[in-house]
Amino acid sequence: RNLTSISEVYKDYFMIGNAVSTSDFAGDRLTLLKGHHNLVTAENAMKPDSAYNNRHFDFNAEDMFVQMALDEGLAVHGHVLVWHQQSPEWLWADDAGESLAREDALVNLRTHIETTVAHFGDSVISWDVVNEAMNDNPPNPEDWQGSLRQSGWLQAIGPDYIEESFRIAKDVIDQNGWDIKLYYNDYNDDNQQKAEAIYQMVKEINENYAAENDGELLIDGIGMQGHYNINTNPENVRLSLEKFASLGVEVGVTELDVTSGSDGEQTEEELNQQAYLYARLFQIYRDNHEHISRITFWGLDDGSSWRSDQSPLLFDRNMQAKPAYYAVINPDEFL
Ligand code: G3I
């Protein structure tokens, strides 16, 4: 107890977030959440699946989540509007699983984004507008359209579903005069082929929009999810970060965790290797802080992580600080 607060240490650099669910807003979990973070992402509660009940919008569960966060003084990042997972397939396909006609899918895309963005308004500070649209390790990343994942949205609409999604969201925000940042979010962000494809996509979409809109950006930020492991080369993370920042967008580290060990066990060496990578990453983040909006960890403790068996977080199953926590608090001393 009485641990140095992560968000306090980095208050002049970037916000510190975590991915949580409504059950985290009580007891020791809430203490840990509020003690070290100033921002939350819903780990699952604000995904497209959760916005509907029998094809009708139903935001009850999401509203509860957002209200709990705001009541605790935590900012909320919206995750996610357009994704190939945890989304109702009828948005892009018919009952037989065949792609909808482009115009029909576009209507669904528009209705989904407009309604959701308008509903939450400026109770969120930012949205992941499109999530994980890019293939892993694309062989020809200069051709970003050819590097896109074969998703239901892509099949029904074509590559411009991405630009359309951002335009729809931005129109709602601008009409209401809100200040909400719009993000493209993806994983394996340390892979240079994938980073290049994302870079080309954001560059082209933003240049097109800027030409019509006095240089304004359409995509405000790129989310580097940061689902790493102890063999991740931090220099690749730095390269991707610098590449994205060179586009003039902000970078969010949106889902950070570092796997190490197996079956929920970590040797002392694995604990230290994990801490070492966290320390290197936080040096890189701090060096580039003027480009970084926030660092969000994907879970409070190893026990509740989506990769629980590989103990990827700063706090163990008993919510005790691991070497990785101390590495984040003071990377220079750790290294
Ligand atoms: O809520 C149901 C429950 O009713 C049911 O009994 C149970 C049985 O399997 O499943 C529960 O849903 C699970 C859900 O998490 C909530 O716990 C799903 O099966 C499970 O697939 C889902 O996993 C989530 C995953 O996204 C789905 O793609 C993880 O918690 C969540 O951490 C993970 O988060 C993603 C980000 O959104 C995007 N980037 C990658 C990241 C990690 O995969």
ipTM score: 0.95
Structural domain that includes position 88:
39-225
CA distances from 179 to 18, 119, 125 (A): 21, 15, 7
Could you say which of 43, 62, 164, 255 is catalytic?
A: 255
Here the tokens at position 281 are: 């990453």
* Within a domain: 97: yes
The residue nearest atom 43 of ligand 1, judged by CA position, is 306
Total domains present in the chain: 1
Rg (C-alpha) for the chain, rounded Å, is: 20
Q: Distance between CA 81 and CA 161 in Å, rounded?
A: 12
Here the tokens at position 250 are: 């902000």
Q: Distance between CA 274 and CA 73 in Å, rounded?
A: 31
255 is catalytic: yes
Position of tokens 């801490």? 275
CA torsion, points 208, 241, 233, 80, in degrees to nearest 10?
A: -70
Q: Distance between CA 17 and CA 138 in Å, rounded?
A: 30
* Within a domain: 164: yes
Q: Which residues line the pocket of ligand 1, CB cutoff 6 A?
A: 43-44, 85-86, 131, 187, 225, 255, 306
Measured from the CA of 79, which atom of ligand 1 is nearest?
37
Position of tokens 């994980």? 132
Backbone angles phi, psi at 122, to 5 degrees: -90, 25
* Within a domain: 287: no
* Within a domain: 182: yes
Q: What is the pTM of this model?
A: 0.97
CATH code: domain of residue 62: 3.20.20.80
Q: Distance between CA 15 and CA 68 in Å, rounded?
A: 19
From 20, 40, 44, the mutation candidate for ligand 1 (largest count of ligand atoms within 8 A of CB) is 44
Convert the pLDDT of each residue in 65-111 to its tens digit.
999 999 999 999 999 999 999 999 999 999 999 999 999 999 999 99
CA of 44 to the centre of ligand 1 (A): 6
Measured from the CA of 131, which atom of ligand 1 is nearest?
38
Which helix (H) or strand (E) covers residue 169, if one does? helix 161-176
Q: Distance between CA 144 and CA 197 in Å, rounded?
A: 5
CA of 166 to the centre of ligand 1 (A): 25
CA of 43 to the centre of ligand 1 (A): 8
* Within a domain: 57: yes
C-alpha angle with apex 196: 191 to 198, nearest 5 degrees? 95
Give the residue from 334, 332, 29, 190 showing the smallest Cα distance to 324. 334
- In terms of Cβ atoms closer than 10 Å to its own Cβ (0-12, 13-18, 19+), residue 55 is exposed
* Within a domain: 168: yes
CA distances from 141 to 196, 278, 317, 331 (A): 6, 28, 40, 34
- For residues 129 and 165, the answer to whether their CB atoms sit within 8 Å is yes
* Within a domain: 185: yes
Q: Distance between CA 273 and CA 171 in Å, rounded?
A: 46
Convert the pLDDT of each residue in 20-35 to its tens digit.
999 999 999 999 999 9
From 304, 306, 308, 309, the mutation candidate for ligand 1 (largest count of ligand atoms within 8 A of CB) is 306
CA of 208 to the centre of ligand 1 (A): 35
pLDDT tens over the chain, length 335 residues: 589 999 999 999 999 999 999 999 999 999 999 999 999 999 999 999 999 999 999 999 999 999 999 999 999 999 999 999 999 999 999 999 999 999 999 999 999 999 999 999 999 999 999 999 999 999 999 999 999 999 999 999 999 999 999 999 999 999 999 999 999 999 999 999 999 999 999 999 999 999 999 999 999 999 999 999 999 999 999 999 999 999 999 999 999 999 999 999 999 999 999 999 999 999 999 999 999 999 999 999 999 999 999 999 999 999 999 999 999 999 999 99
CA of 45 to the centre of ligand 1 (A): 10
**Cβ-proximal residues to 25 (8 Å cutoff; 6+ apart), any chain:** 33, 68, 69, 72
For residue 162, give the amino acid letter. I
* Within a domain: 157: yes
